[in-house]
Amino acid sequence: MIVPDWVWALTVVGIVALLAFDFFFHVRKAHVPTLREAAVWSAGYVGIALLFGVGVLMFGGIEPGSEYFAGYVTEKALSVDNLFVFLVIMSSFRVPREDQQKVLLFGIAFALIARSGFIFLGAALINAFAWVFYVFGLILLVTAGHVLMPDDDDESRKADNLPVRMAKKVIRTSEHYDGDKLFTKIDGKRAMTPMLLVMVSLGGTDVLFALDSIPAIFGLTQNVFIVFTATAFSLLGLRQLYFLLDGLLDRLVYLSYGLAAILSFIGVKLILHALHENNVPFINDGESVPVVEISTSLSLVVIIGFLAVTVAASLLSPKGRAKMAIANARRHATAYLDSEYTHDPEERERIFKKLIKERDQIDHLGEKFRKLVRDEDALNELLKRAAAKHDEAVERGEAEPHKVTGLTA
């Protein structure tokens, strides 16, 4: 599919316009988005992506259209994995709820810039060296194994990563936020706020994610326009999706298996394609190897199948419900105790009601799933402290009375 320059220009302008619209009409004024707001705008961005795909089908043909949808679904699934990391980073930096939208939009914009660079670099390498397909295939197979590793072993998922440590050494930093400002003054001296550190951390992890996602989509199509647009549209709307899935991320306990299966499948597809296009001297004397190649339509079916099975298994899994309740109870109790978390009384009331519900869910877990609670005494203490702070708010007339205690022994 040959794409005219004017189509490229219109597409880039449209994507930039969507980002600008997001900034000026949604995140410029700090606020906590409602579930309805997040759902409506998430659906809107998915709708735009699907309409664009229909346009590719109509004007480009079945093959390019299938490639676009396969790439979009794959990148969207991988972007959900990004949300786990965003959650860890923002929780670690105690980002105020009202300002999380702006941080997320920065992360999305940085990811789009970083991935665009990797896309054009990858396209140039593929055009110059056919053996790059072997490299991309091996990267995906290694990544598939890495996805299944425990998060504790993944340095890229920690808030205090290398870019953050370097920034702290170079620039004077403050301990507290000053609204959504990137810099503030301490004793009359200019200092960097945690807000800028969060953005640095997100930027560092976005680069690492680009190293995984770009080879994945090149395994489905080598058309640079399709690679770029599928990647861009998968990132747009990620901010709204974060708030829509808030509290459900920990329930997707089997998503990593689905992502590992998808990456492995695309990795094998890339290596088969590399063998078919082979010109490496020490493989079959530099001649093409007669192997079966996997079609784009089959790839799309397999990718959607893996995602459907793992997401359904996660949502129906008692283990998923248990892990979600435990993780969210700990997170909401910590947020409620954090004076910088939010200044919105309705938001504080919302998370406290969630905390009560999650505490009750943990209380009713069977013995098998109660074992998932790591350091139960610490969680008990956290819940009691949150309850005490809420009682103080009730006495001041700032909250509704609710009863919450620690976990039942």
pLDDT in tens, 336-388: 888 777 777 888 888 888 888 888 888 887 777 777 777 778 888 888 888 88
Residue 364 backbone dihedrals phi, psi, to 5 degrees? -95, 5
Nearest to 240 by CA among 31, 16, 37, 23: 37
Cα(289)–Cα(407) distance, integer angstroms:
62
> What pairing do the DSSP bridges indicate for beta strands 183-186 and 189-192?
antiparallel
Instruction: Give per-residue pLDDT as tens, 105-164.
Output: 888 888 888 889 889 998 898 887 878 888 888 988 888 887 777 554 444 444 555 556
Structure tokens at 23: 């900034």
Q: What is the pLDDT at residue 153?
A: 40
Structure confidence at residue 405 as a pLDDT band (50, 70, 90): low
Q: What is the C-alpha R_g of the chain? A: 23
- For CA atoms 162, 167, 173, 177, the dihedral sign is negative
Structure confidence at residue 5 as a pLDDT band (50, 70, 90): very high
Instruction: Give per-residue pLDDT as tens, 284-340.
Output: 888 888 888 888 888 889 999 998 999 898 888 888 788 888 888 888 888 888 877
Cβ neighbourhood burial of 181 (10 Å; 0-12, 13-18, 19+) = middle
Cross-strand partners of 189 = 186
Cβ neighbourhood burial of 85 (10 Å; 0-12, 13-18, 19+) = buried
> What average pLDDT does this structure show over 32-57?
90
Q: What is the pLDDT at residue 13?
A: 96
Q: Which residue has the tokens 């998922």?
A: 157
Q: What is the pLDDT at residue 233?
A: 94
Res 20 pLDDT > 80: yes
Q: Which residues of 381-400 are buried (b: 16+ CB within 10 A; e: fewer)?
A: ebbeebbebbeebeeeeebe
Cα(179)–Cα(349) distance, integer angstroms:
21
Comparing 30-34, 170-174, 201-205, the range with the smallest average pLDDT is 170-174
386 and 356 Cβ atoms separated by less than 8 Å: no
Q: What is the pLDDT at residue 202?
A: 80
106 and 204 Cβ atoms separated by less than 8 Å: no
Q: How far is CA 187 from CA 146, 168, 234, 336, 350, in A?
A: 45, 18, 44, 29, 36
Per-chain mean pLDDT for the chain: 82
Q: What is the pLDDT at residue 407?
A: 63
Structure tokens at 241: 């999706």
Domain ranges in the chain are 5-240, 318-396
Q: What is the pLDDT at residue 50?
A: 95
403 and 363 Cβ atoms separated by less than 8 Å: no
Structure tokens at 384: 């009691």
Q: Which residues of 251-274 are buried (b: 16+ CB within 10 A; e: fewer)?
A: bbbbbbbbbbbbbbbbbbbbbbbb
> What average pLDDT does this structure show over 225-245?
89
Residue, of 9 and 93, whose pLDDT is higher: 9
pTM flag (> 0.85): no
- For CA atoms 387, 389, 391, 393, the dihedral sign is negative
Structure confidence at residue 165 as a pLDDT band (50, 70, 90): low
Alpha-helix residue ranges (DSSP H) falling in 61-161: 62-92, 100-128, 132-147
Q: How far is CA 166 from CA 109, 160, 234, 307, in A?
A: 22, 10, 30, 38
Res 2 pLDDT > 90: no
Q: What is the pLDDT at residue 155?
A: 42
- Other CB atoms within a 10 A radius of the CB of residue 216 amount to 27
Cα(192)–Cα(45) distance, integer angstroms:
34
Alpha carbons within 13 angstroms on the beta-carbon side of residue 172 total 9
> What average pLDDT does this structure show over 204-229?
85
Cα(152)–Cα(9) distance, integer angstroms:
43
253 and 317 Cβ atoms separated by less than 8 Å: yes
Res 168 pLDDT > 80: no
